[in-house]
Amino acid sequence: EVPIDFSQKLVVGISSRALFDLEQENEIFEKDGIEAFENFQANHLEDCLEKGVAFPFVKRLLTINKLFPEEKPVEVVLLSKNSCFTGLRVFNSIKEHGLDITRASFVSGGDAIKFIPAFNVSLFLSMDEKDVKDGINRGFPAGLFLDGHVNDDEENELRIAFDFDGVIAGESAEKIYQMEGPEKYRQHETELRKESLEPGPLGKFFKQLSYIQKLEENRLKTDKSYKKVLKTSIVTARNAPAHERVITTLKAWGVSVDEMLLLGGAEKAEFLAAMKPHIYFDDQARNLEHLKALRLPAVHIPFGVTNAGGTNVKTPEGVNLMKDPIPEEQTRESSFLHFLKTSLSKQKEQ
C-alpha cells in the first residue's frame, strides 16, 4: 500500500451508524447487550446495510476524487465503536454500495474519536450525542447527525450549507449577542467590521472545501462542458450592518461561497427547503428542529455559548477561541492548501 499523507487530504471521519441504517442493530445493542448485537451481525454478515442519513453526503464527496484522480483530495475514514469482526458487515456494505472507503478504526466499544488528530480529520459525523459532545470538548470538529430522511437521488451535485457563527467562525461575536443583547452586538460588529473572526469548529473544513471549489473553477476554464459538483452556502441570522464582518472574514481567509443568505433572524427552514442541501450545520439545536419535519439532513455542532460549557470549548487545533486566533502555520491545514494551490498551478500550465 502506498503511504498516505493525511495533511494533503480533506479528511472526513464517519461513524458506521451515520453512514448506514443501523437502528435495528442499535436497538438490539441497547436492549440485549453486546453479545446479542455481535451475534446478530455475524448472522447477517452478507446482508447489505441500507443507506444511512450521511450516505448521500459521503457518496457525493467521494465523487470529487473521480473527477480529480491525480489530486484525490478527499479521504473518508470509518471511526467505529464496533469490533473488527462486527465491522466486517459494514465493510461488506461499503463495497456493495461502491464507496471508496478503505481506512477505518474499530475500537470494540472504546474511544473511537481519539484517532481524529492522527487521521487529520476536519469533520467527524456521528449519531452518538455523547461522542460528539466529548469530541467538541476535546477540541475536535464533531457534529451530531439528527435522524433524518435519506434522499439519495441520481444527481452528482453536492450542496453543503452552514450557519456562520459558532460553526464556520468562532463564538466571540455570538457571546456579545447572548450576553449583552442585539444593540450591543450590532454596535460591536459594526466597529469590528474590518476585522476577521477566528475560525470555529468547522473553519478548517470550510476552507478546504473552498479550495476544492477552486480546483473545479479552474477545470471549468479549460473545459466548458465540465459541470461543477460542489456548492456551498452560508445561511446566517446576521443582516446589515453585521453582514460586513462575514465578508471581511471570508476575504481574510482567502475563501468564497456560492450562496449567502442574510436572514436577520428569520426562520431558516423554508429557505433551506428551497436549497435542498445534502447536509446543513448549525450550532443551535432549535434551528434544526423544524428541519426534521422537512426531512432535511441536519447536523448539530454543540459548540460555544449557545450550548453547555461554551466558555471552555476549544477549536479543532486546541486553541481557546477566547484567546488568540490560530496561526495557519501551526496546523496541518497549510500543507493541504499548499498541495491544492500547487495542483491549481499545474492545471494552469497544462
Kindly list the distances between the CA atom of residue 179 and the CA atoms of 136, 204, 303, 333, in Å, as whole numbers in the listed order: 22, 27, 16, 33
Specify the pLDDT at position 26. 74
pLDDT at 326 over 50: no
pLDDT tens-place string over residues 259-308: 999 998 888 988 999 999 999 999 988 888 877 777 788 999 999 877 86
pLDDT at 328 over 80: no
> What are the extents of the domains in the chain?
6-145, 158-349
Same fold? 6-145, 158-349: yes
Specify the pLDDT at position 346. 66
> Confidence band (pLDDT; 50, 70, 90) for 327?
very low
Ramachandran angles phi, psi of 37, nearest 5°: -60, -50
| Cβ-Cβ contacts under 8 Å for 48 (sequence gap 6 or more) | 92, 93, 96, 97
Mean pLDDT of 95-106: 94
pLDDT tens-place string over residues 130-146: 999 999 999 999 999 98
The amino acid at residue 81 is K
pLDDT at 317 over 50: no
Which CATH fold would you assign to the domain 158-349? Rossmann fold (3.40.50)
> Confidence band (pLDDT; 50, 70, 90) for 316?
very low
> Confidence band (pLDDT; 50, 70, 90) for 179?
confident
> Confidence band (pLDDT; 50, 70, 90) for 350?
low
> Confidence band (pLDDT; 50, 70, 90) for 240?
confident
Mean pLDDT of 81-92: 85
Task: Give the 3-state DSSP-derived string for the chain, with helices as H, strands as E and coil as C.
Answer: CCCCCHHHCEEEEECHHHHECCHHHHHHHHHHCHHHHHHHHHHCCCCCCCECCCHHHHHHHHHHHHHCCCCCCEEEEEEECCCCCCHHHHHHHHHHCCCCCCEEEECCCCCHHHHHHHHCEEEEEECCHHHHHHHHHCCCCEEEECCCCCCCCCCCCEEEEECCECCCECCHHHHHHHHHCHHHHHHHHHHCCCCCCCECCCHHHHHHHHHHHHHHHHHHHHCCCCCCCEEEEEEECCCCCCHHHHHHHHHHHCCCCCEEEECCCCCCHHHHHHHCCCEEEECCHHHHHHHHHCCCCEEECCCCCCCCCHHHCECCCCCECCCCCCCHHHCCHHHHHHHHHHHHHHHHHC
Specify the pLDDT at position 336. 67
Specify the pLDDT at position 311. 39
pLDDT tens-place string over residues 191-219: 888 999 999 999 999 999 998 999 999 99
pTM, to two decimals: 0.86
Specify the pLDDT at position 310. 42
| Class of 6-145 in CATH | alpha beta
Report residue 131 as a C-alpha cell: 461522542
